[in-house]
A and B are shown apart, each in its own frame.
Chain A
Amino acid sequence: AQKVTQAQTEISVVEKEDVTLDCVYETRDTTYYLFWYKQPPSGELVFLIRRNSFDEQNEISGRYSWNFQKSTSSFNFTITASQVVDSAVYFCALSDRYNQGGKLIFGQGTELSVKP
């Protein structure tokens, strides 16, 4: 069965701290895609990254970086030097060929609060 687990329900940090959001997934498929989305208080989901199962290179985009480890089925997200504007709920999601039509399986989300 497909499953995404975000064990951290809430995280609170002080501005400029680094913070890592954990994501562990389960799938029987060898071809799958992993995503991170940000949901600020306004509610809109903002796409952050898409990674396919054949690309294990870590990625960095500004203050954001992602660590994909197939061996541990994890796709963790790190924010460096966090800012108040990073406060949001972050969702990790999985899509594989067993989900017809490209359905996304979402984790429960991690609410990040960055305090000044």
Chain B
Amino acid sequence: GAVVSQHPSRVICKSGTSVKIECRSLDFQATTMFWYRQFPKQSLMLMATSNEGSKATYEQGVEKDKFLINHASLTLSTLTVTSAHPEDSSFYICSARDGNRGRETQYFGPGTRLLVL
């Protein structure tokens, strides 16, 4: 139980293109999902909190127009990196909170490695 999937697992794209990453909770409903970015040898940095049916809350310093987040259903949130540049290359991880399993526990997806050439 408490499985979170992400797609794609790895993406390579040219500079200037947009990339969409999907995060799904497979066996539970997630009213809240979180998007993190992790650079090599570093900790996870929270980018935004995504609530189903409402606008995402972005952390300070994260450009909302560059990192578009949509949480259209209780099992799906998407992150779109618009006009990606090489500095956006990173490991993007989503997590979902299952209110029925203990409200404060987040379960993480397997992550998406983005490489922008």
Contacts and interface: CB of A to CB of B under 8 A. Distances in A.
A103 B105 contact: no
Interface stretch (B15-23, B44-52, B66-74, B79-87): B44-52
A contact residues, range: 20 to 34
Contacts, number: 54
Interface of B: 2, 32, 34, 42-44, 46, 49, 51, 57, 91, 93, 95, 97, 102-111, 113
A47 B43 CA distance: 16
B110 A101 contact: no
B104 A103 contact: no
B21 to A, nearest CB: 14
Contacts of A77: none
A43 B105 contact: no
4 smallest beta-carbon distances between A and B, as pairs: A45-B108, A44-B110, A33-B104, A43-B111
11 contacts: A37-B108, A42-B110, A44-B111, A45-B95, A47-B108, A95-B104, A101-B49, A102-B103, A102-B106, A104-B44, A108-B43
Contacts of A64: none
Nearest to A45: B108
A103 B34 contact: yes
Contacts of B113: 43
A67 to B, nearest CB: 20
A16 interface: no
Given A101-B32, A102-B32, A103-B34, A47 B49 contact: no
Nearest to B32: A101
Contact of A91 (B2, B43, B104): B43
Contacts of B102: 50
B97 to A, nearest CB: 6
Contacts of B91: 43
Given A101-B49, A101-B51, A35 B105 contact: yes
Most buried by B among A42, A44, A45, A95: A45
B41 to A, nearest CB: 8
